[in-house]
Each structure stands twice: as C-alpha cells, then as structure tokens.
Amino acid sequence: MSWMLNHGDGRSLFLIDEFGKGTADLDGIALLSSIINYLVKTKFGASRPRVVLTTHFLEIFRLNLLEATLVVDKSTEEQSRSLSDTARVVCTVMASTDVPESYSVTSNAVPLYELRRGIANHSNALTCAAKCGIPHELIERAQQVLDFTKRGAPIPSRQQSTGPSPEEQLAVFFMSIDDWQSVEDDVVGKFLAMSRMTTQ
C-alpha cells in the first residue's frame, strides 16, 4: 500500500485485496476508509489512478465513512443498493440467486460469478462455508450467534442452545416422580445434584 501511494501516478492501476484484514476490525476499517478517501481526493500528477479494491468491511458503507463520493440510490428493492452512474466510487457485488431448496443440498443461494453495481448487505459467509463442506451443526451454531448478535441479546453457550436448561431438566425430573415420600435415597441424591447445577 505504501509503495502504491508513494510511487503511483495517474496512469497506475492499484489492486487492493482485503486491506486491513490482518488487524483489529476497527483499525482496518479506519485505515481502509482513510485510504479510499485519500485516493478519491488526491491527484497523482495530472489525474487519479484507477483502483480495484475488494473488502468485507461493509461498515465503511453502513457508517458512511466515505466523504460524499458515493451516490447511493436508496429506492431500489434489490438485495444490494444500486449506485448512480456519476459516482466517483463505483461499488459492485458478486451476484447470486436463490434456487428452490429441493435443488440444493446445503444452501439455496447460488453464485452467478457476475459483478453487479451495488453495495453488499452481507457476505454470504455461511453459504460459502456450507458449500465448502463445513459441518451443518457448526453452520447452525454460527447462524445462532449471528441472530443473537443482531438482536443485541446475550449469546447462549452451545450447551444451553442444544437442549433444555438445567432448570427445565430439574422440573421434568421432579414431575416424573409420582410419590416423593417413598423414593430411594439415590433418587433424592440425583435430584439434589441436579438442583445444585441450576445454581451454578
């Protein structure tokens, strides 16, 4: 990046792939948005270089970190927002389409391998993971974490999310005993052990 910024000129083509991904997200977002704004405003000689940039930092667009160089048409109903032809920064997304679940074993999103104008609203990471063979239970857990994060809710542990809570188990066990006055000591011991689990 440093070499491009210091040695590029108006005839240069800058290819920038996932810049800032090797550091903390906030730092990477700040660095990348600053560089984009610099490249848009600064002439390298008589003109500006062409830049092709790929990123997963969608926050750059969500947080409006580009300084009035991006014109977004918010009237579109499509998956990605389309852009004005006069924008200095032109964003494209990898297009995909949905197919009926009966045609797809792992996911119903199919990549079209085509760039379309717009700003992505998500990265389809779980779809890609499924297509690459990541086990289904891991993708389900990732989806659960995403759902709780989007709602701003505490993320339950995997143990909590896969079955009844210790309190529910205790209630079911308690209700399964018809006559508590005549139970064996080991049944009472199990009940006490389960009740201790609910207070941890």
Give tens-digit pLDDT for 103-157.
444 456 777 888 888 888 777 788 888 888 888 888 888 888 888 888 888 888 8
Please tell me the pTM assigned to this model.
Answer: 0.60
Determine, yes or no, domain membership for 127.
no
Q: Are residues 92 and 145 in the same domain?
A: no
Is the separation of the CB atoms in 50 and 14 below 8 Å?
yes
The span from the CA of 67 to the CA of 9, in Å, is: 22
Report helix, strand or coil for 162.
Answer: coil
- What is residue 34's predicted lDDT score, i.e. its pLDDT? 94
Q: How far does the chain reach from its first CA to its final CA, in angstroms?
A: 51
- Number of domains, the chain: 3
Reported confidence tier of residue 200, pLDDT bands at 50, 70, 90: low
Determine, yes or no, domain membership for 189.
yes
CB atoms within 10 A of CB 85: 8
Q: Are residues 194 and 177 in the same domain?
A: yes
Q: Are residues 80 and 37 in the same domain?
A: yes
Q: Are residues 143 and 60 in the same domain?
A: no
Burial class from Cβ neighbours inside 10 Å (0-12, 13-18, 19+) for residue 86 reads exposed
Q: Which residues are bridge partners to 98 per DSSP?
A: 109
Is the separation of the CB atoms in 106 and 117 below 8 Å?
no
DSSP 123-161: --HHHHHHHTT--HHHHHHHHHHHHHHHHTPPPPPHHHH
Look at residue 56 and tell me whether its pLDDT is greater than 80.
Answer: yes
Digit-coded pLDDT (tens) for 155-176? 888 765 556 677 777 888 888 8
CB atoms within 10 A of CB 71: 13
Q: Are residues 45 and 139 in the same domain?
A: no
Determine, yes or no, domain membership for 128.
no
Q: Are residues 14 and 111 in the same domain?
A: yes
Domain boundary (121, 154, 181) is at 121
Q: Which domain holds residue 138?
A: 133-163
Look at residue 2 and tell me whether its pLDDT is greater than 80.
Answer: yes
Determine, yes or no, domain membership for 117.
yes
